[in-house]
């Protein structure tokens, strides 16, 4: 035995046999693992395709996903789960909670597949003949709409508009009626404005989120609007008006965050980059929005003097609260899908002369408008089966109040306490023994949301649709002036000489005051008891994989 124990001949063959056995086992396992990886990759690709197709038509997600998986070889032997829901691509939301199954309106689909793949050599090693595979795909539809809720801006009184812009900017603004008409009727691509802003802010554009996060002055924004207008067909008059405004501002003004003027909305999650098509934005709305934000929430006062025909003097005190009027590209069901107008308070103090030597009467007209709001309910794209686009908004005009009352100018600030509208205002004081006061109030409110549908032609033409909370057949001021006057604190039933003369004068001035009120409100993008809606653009991109 001793020689045998010390004999080393043949040891290589033994170890070679043992090594080959181990190597063959490892190779067998490698073949099965490789087969498993290929099968998993194939299943994941099939699930991703199914989720992408289903997310394009969330209402038919289950049959679309199952048909796609069947076409790729996953039929009765596979366990398939299809869930439709909403997806929030907000970076502030944890990844695991961005998809909410079962919530409406559905904008995303999650497809889960459980299947098995056979093994080749595993049974020889005492392992199973099949291995289970579980994969999941989540796709979100990239269907966006951009909309505006505002005043349906039309032709403005140039003198009043110039005075308001001058007061808000602190710099003289002189534009003509033709200038305002051109600004009101011209639209530009919002992303082209961001393209023009980037060089002014010394930014290298990676995506438009970088520009939206920066700050710019009103002068810089106006200059960018001018560049964007120059690239638009038949926008020469608007570009010329903006050139004059840019010259007056000379790049100045209080900086504002660009994204508060040109909001990217939910499309920010896609990190849109240079060359992407943006929503169509009206020049005048964008400009006044930037001006109001630059002013902050400061109260402004405009003394028009005798500039308004028919009035001896007109003083306007204006307070604008936090405002948001444009959605940017948003999806139904997201927080960004609801847009509000500004909360605004206005006091118009008009003085007019009375016949018969009775002197002059001062009429304080107070108006306040709460937020009007609109919410994107649904976006329908051409591949949905209709062949056309459609957008549905739910809108509600905000509470509007109009009053004749004694209101201190300090309470015009929207952040101040609500003024007492029950205090009579002194309209006329002929002598110490004769004082005429007036107090009236109109409240305009809509108790419910109103659905507004925009068809393909409405979207293309940027048609403005209006929802209203009031059925008034005449001007607001005319309705307000129907309330009786008070002489020396005593209500009167039959008109006397003074009250009859005063009533006639006020009735004649009502249309003028209605125009002043309407133009002032339109300059800040609102109307009392009314909300004007328009679609700025629709994106019907194919669904994309998320997470």
**pLDDT for 300-340, tens place per residue?**
888 888 888 888 899 999 888 777 788 899 888 788 899 98
Which residues sit opposite 131 in a β-bridge? 117
Same domain, 385 and 346: yes
- Quick check: is 6 in a domain? no
Same domain, 263 and 343: yes
Q: What is the largest CA-CA distance in the chain?
A: 147
Structure tokens at 325: 């009027």
Distance set, CA 501 to CA 357, 360, 363, 489 (Å)? 11, 12, 14, 18
Average pLDDT over residues 98-107: 79
Same domain, 306 and 441: yes
Residue among 519, 442, 509 at smallest CA distance from 184: 519
Same domain, 72 and 154: no
Structure tokens at 200: 């002014």
Strands of the sheet with 544-545, listed across from one edge: 99-101, 79-87, 108-118, 130-140, 544-545
Three-state secondary-structure class, residue 154:
coil
Cβ count near 291 (within 10 Å): 25
Distance set, CA 113 to CA 35, 66, 154 (Å)? 18, 10, 56
If you count them, how many residues does the chain have?
A: 547
Average pLDDT over residues 243-247: 84
- Quick check: is 451 in a domain? yes
Element (H, E) at 292: helix 283-295
Same domain, 102 and 118: yes
Tell how many helices (H) and how many strands (E) occur in the chain: 14, 26
Q: Tell me the pLDDT tens digit for each residue of 26-61.
A: 666 667 677 778 888 998 999 999 998 888 888 888
Tokens 């003085």 belong to residue: 351
Q: Tell me the pLDDT tens digit for each residue of 448-487.
A: 788 999 999 999 999 999 888 765 545 777 777 777 666 6
- Quick check: is 77 in a domain? yes
Please check whether residue 520 is in contact with residue 164, taking contact to mean a CB–CB distance below 8 angstroms.
Answer: yes
Residue among 103, 255, 284, 51 at smallest CA distance from 187: 284
- Asked if residue 75 has pLDDT above 70, the reply is yes
Residue among 443, 407, 399, 437 at smallest CA distance from 531: 399
Q: What is the pLDDT of residue 418?
A: 85
Q: Where do runs of H (alpha helix) occur along 132-235?
A: 158-169, 177-185, 190-200, 208-213, 218-230
Q: With cut-offs at 50, 70 and 90, classify the pLDDT of residue 7.
A: low
Same domain, 113 and 160: no
Specify the number of domains making up the chain.
Answer: 2
Q: What is the pLDDT of residue 244?
A: 83
Print the domain residue range for 389. Answer: 144-545
Residue among 509, 484, 378, 464 at smallest CA distance from 424: 484
Rounded distance, CA 148 to CA 259, Å? 15
Same domain, 127 and 150: no
- Asked if residue 164 has pLDDT above 80, the reply is yes
- Quick check: is 521 in a domain? yes
Tokens 């003289």 belong to residue: 172
Same domain, 262 and 292: yes
* End position of a domain, from candidates 108, 141, 174: 141
Cβ count near 41 (within 10 Å): 11
Q: Is 328 left (phi over 0), alpha (psi -120 to 50) or beta?
A: left
Which residues sit opposite 452 in a β-bridge? 393
Average pLDDT, the chain: 81
Same domain, 535 and 417: yes
Q: What is the pLDDT of residue 494?
A: 43
- Quick check: is 4 in a domain? no
Rounded distance, CA 19 to CA 15, Å? 6
DSSP 433: T
- Quick check: is 482 in a domain? yes
- Asked if residue 408 has pLDDT above 60, the reply is yes
Q: With cut-offs at 50, 70 and 90, classify the pLDDT of residue 362.
A: confident
Rounded distance, CA 437 to CA 424, Å? 6
Q: Helix-strand-coil percent breakdown of the chain, rounded to 5?
A: 40, 30, 35
Distance set, CA 29 to CA 33, 64, 121, 303 (Å)? 6, 37, 7, 88
Q: Tell me the pLDDT tens digit for each residue of 509-533.
A: 888 888 888 888 888 777 777 888 9
Same domain, 231 and 210: yes
* End position of a domain, from candidates 109, 141, 173: 141
CA end-to-end span of the chain: 69
Same domain, 18 and 97: yes
Q: What is the pLDDT of residue 493?
A: 46
Same domain, 100 and 168: no
| Phi, psi torsion values for 457, nearest 5 degrees | -70, -40
- Asked if residue 422 has pLDDT above 50, the reply is yes
What b/e readout covers 110-142, taking b as 16+ CB neighbours within 10 angstroms? bbbbbbebebebbeeeeeeeebebebebbbbbb
pTM to 2 decimal places: 0.75
Rounded distance, CA 332 to CA 393, Å? 10
Q: What is the pLDDT of residue 59?
A: 80
Radius of gyration of the chain (CA): 34
Q: Tell me the pLDDT tens digit for each residue of 483-496.
A: 766 666 555 444 56
């Amino acid at each position: 035995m001793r020689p045998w124990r010390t004999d080393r001949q043949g040891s290589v063959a033994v170890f070679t046999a043992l090594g080959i056995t181990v190597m063959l086992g490892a190779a067998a396992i490698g073949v099965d693992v490789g087969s498993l990886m290929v099968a998993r990759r194939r299943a994941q690709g099939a699930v991703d395709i199914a989720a992408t197709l289903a997310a394009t038509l969330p209402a038919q997600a289950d049959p679309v996903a199952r048909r796609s998986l069947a076409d790729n070889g996953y039929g009765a032997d596979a366990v398939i789960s299809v869930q439709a829901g909403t997806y929030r691509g907000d970076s502030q939301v944890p990844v695991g909670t961005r998809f909410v199954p079962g919530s409406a309106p559905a904008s995303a689909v999650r497809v889960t597949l459980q299947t098995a793949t056979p093994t080749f050599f595993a049974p020889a090693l005492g392992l199973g003949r099949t291995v289970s595979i579980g994969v999941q795909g989540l796709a979100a539809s990239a269907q966006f709409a951009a909309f505006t809720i505002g005043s349906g801006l039309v032709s403005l009184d140039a003198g009043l508009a110039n005075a308001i812009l001058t007061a808000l900017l602190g710099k003289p603004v002189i534009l003509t009626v033709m200038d305002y008409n051109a600004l009101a009727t011209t639209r530009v691509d919002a992303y082209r404005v961001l393209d023009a802003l980037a060089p002014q802010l010394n930014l290298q554009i990676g995506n438009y989120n970088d520009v939206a996060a920066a700050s710019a002055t009103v002068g810089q924004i106006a200059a960018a609007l001018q560049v964007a207008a120059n690239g638009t067909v038949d926008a020469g008059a608007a570009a010329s008006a903006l050139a004059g405004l840019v010259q007056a501002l000379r790049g100045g003004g209080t900086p504002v965050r660009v994204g508060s003027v040109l909001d990217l909305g939910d499309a920010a999650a896609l990190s849109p980059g240079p060359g992407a098509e943006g929503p169509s934005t009206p020049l005048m709305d964008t400009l006044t929005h930037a001006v109001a934000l630059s002013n902050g929430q400061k109260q402004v006062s405009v003394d028009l003097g005798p500039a308004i025909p028919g009035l001896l003097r007109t003083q306007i005190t204006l307070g604008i609260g936090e405002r948001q009027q444009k959605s940017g590209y948003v999806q139904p069901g997201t927080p960004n899908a609801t847009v509000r107008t500004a909360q605004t308070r206005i006091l118009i103090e008009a003085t007019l002369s009375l016949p018969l030597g009775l002197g002059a009467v001062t009429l304080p007209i107070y108006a306040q408008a709460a937020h009007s709001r609109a919410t994107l309910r649904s976006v329908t794209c051409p591949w949905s089966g209709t062949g056309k686009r459609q957008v549905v908004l739910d809108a509600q005009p905000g509470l509007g109040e109009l009053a004749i009352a004694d209101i201190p100018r300090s309470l015009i600030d929207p952040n101040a306490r609500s003024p007492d509208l029950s205090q009579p205002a002194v309209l006329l004081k002929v002598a110490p023994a004769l004082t005429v006061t007036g107090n009236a109030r109109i409240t305009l409110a809509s108790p419910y949301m109103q659905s507004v549908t925009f068809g393909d032609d409405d979207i293309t033409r940027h048609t403005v649709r209006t929802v209203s909370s009031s059925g008034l057949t005449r001007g607001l001021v005319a309705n307000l002036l129907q309330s009786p006057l008070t002489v020396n604190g005593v209500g009167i039933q039959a008109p006397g000489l003074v009250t009859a003369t005063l009533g006639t004068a006020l009735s004649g001035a009502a249309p003028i005051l209605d125009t002043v009120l309407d133009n002032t409100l339109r300059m800040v993008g609102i109307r009392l008891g009314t909300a004007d809606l328009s679609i700025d653009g629709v994106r019907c991109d194919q669904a994309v994989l998320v997470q």
